Structure 1
Amino acid sequence: MIADERRRMAELIESLTPGQLYTPSLCEGWTVHEVAAHLCAPWIFGARRIVPAVLRHGFRVHRANAELVRDLAVDLTAEEIGLQLRANAEFVFNPPIVGPLGQLTDLQVHGQDICRPLGLTRDLVPERMLLSLEFLVGPRARGSFVPRGRLDGLRFVATDLDWAGGEGLLTVRGTGEALLLALTGRPVVLGELSGSGTAALHARLTA
């Protein structure tokens, strides 16, 4: 699944114009080009450089990545990123705690980080969304992909998938894609959600 997502990302990146590449992504502070370059970090930097950065930033993955990604984006053109993703599609990266599900989730979320600001449609594979949604409401994502406290008291229900997760009396409903982006802190999808827990989630994502 990870290998296929990397190949899909290569196709996407190779299809973009220079103007699209320098458009701000949904990943705050990063352009589309920087998000794309970040996906090559596992085999270029390796665990010896990535894991210490994550630890330095208290398992805040985005901050650790920001420390590493900008130089990488300068070094790699879009064409080179596409070649890197294809050549290393089968690369195994098993970071502590989050494991392979962290990689699968990263690829799916960053694909939408790129496509949504550009007005592009990128369908996610339901089976893969289910794995990532379950990962995001579980303990291994807490403190890295999902800050502590974001999910407290909330239960999430997908309207287009047979999935619900989280513990709480307040409910947040939306498509699997919208929940994936909301759980990882993208406020752009808040208007696509419904339920008694949306106000609480809105406050946490926009604080």
Structure 2
Amino acid sequence: MLVEERRRMADLLDGLDAGQLATPSLSAGWTVHDVGAHLTTYLRFGQLKIYWGIVSMAADFDRLNRELTAKAARLPTSELTARLRRWSTSRTTIPRSGYDPVLTDIVLHDYDIRVPLGIGRDVPEDRLWVAFQHLAAKPSPGYALGSRLAGLRLEAVDTGWVSGAGAVVRGDAESLVLAMSGRAVGLDALTGDGLPLLRERVTAPPPRGTVERLKAVVKVVVDPPPPNRRSRNASTNP
């Protein structure tokens, strides 16, 4: 799934004109071109960069991503897409987190590009399922979700996926995944008693200081890693 998504992303970016590439994405402060640059930053020596970010930046992954992306964004889009294809089989993962956060990242950034450009796509359900499960169960520190999903029951009406307990937030799987990842654009398609609370948390997420960031990293290290899940046995039934 990762290889397919990287190559599909390269094709998407190659088909955009200069105005589209300069369009602000859903990722605050990044253009569409910048998002493409970000997706290349961990394909080579990715774990070394992550460890360097933990040590040198006190696990401030937002800062790490900004710096790595700014450097990669100096390259023309044609070189970025060439790298996406050349290193599409990269096996870099977040330490002890497996491939789920990597696939989730590219699925979300696909939305970051397509939504503001008005480019539709039916995202394969197996990709959405991985993103839903990862965000609901144990998001990696880089997502900075913290406890924003606590006390909520998330229900995808089109797939039957359910996660959590508490006030209900329901809607289609795509909108849920967007909202769960902190993208406010997904909120308008959702309903339920828990929606006001989720909206409040997404639009004004709590700040994360150095101590909170380091605690999140320690939790990933000490908790058991997720099972090894491959596309051939991925299920759409969580």
Q: How far apart are 1:58 and its partner, in Å?
A: 5.5
% identical equivalent positions? 39
Query: Aligned AA for 1:85?
Result: L
Partner in structure 1 of residue 224 of structure 2: none
Contact 2:38 2:65 (8 Å CA) reproduced: yes
Is residue 190 of structure 2 the alignment partner of residue 193 of structure 1? Answer: yes
- Which runs of 4 or more aligned residues in structure 1 lie more than 4 Å from their structure 2 counterparts after TM superposition? 54-60
Q: How far apart are 1:142 and its partner, in Å?
A: 5.2
Partner in structure 2 of residue 180 of structure 1: 177
Query: Aligned AA for 1:99?
Result: G
Aligned to 2:159, the other structure's residue is in SS state: coil
Contact 2:44 2:92 (8 Å CA) reproduced: no
Separation in 1 of the partners of 2:184 and 2:64?
A: 21
Query: Aligned AA for 2:193?
Result: S
- Unaligned 5+ segments in structure 2 are 205-238
Aligned to 1:157, the other structure's residue is in SS state: strand
Deviations 1:50-88 (A, max 9, x none): 3322565565543431121111101x2111111111111
Aligned to 2:80, the other structure's residue is in SS state: helix
Partner in structure 1 of residue 6 of structure 2: 6
**Aligned Cα RMSD in Å?**
1.7
- Unaligned 5+ segments in structure 1 are none
Contact 2:46 2:93 (8 Å CA) reproduced: no
Separation in 1 of the partners of 2:132 and 2:51?
A: 23
* Distance 1:124-1:198 versus aligned 2 partners, 3 A rule: same
Larger Rg: 2
Separation in 1 of the partners of 2:174 and 2:55?
A: 29
Aligned to 1:41, the other structure's residue is in SS state: coil
Structure-2-length-normalised TM-score: 0.80
Aligned to 1:144, the other structure's residue is in SS state: helix
Separation in 2 of the partners of 1:169 and 1:157?
A: 11
Q: What is the count of residue pairs matched by the alignment? A: 204
Partner in structure 2 of residue 128 of structure 1: 127
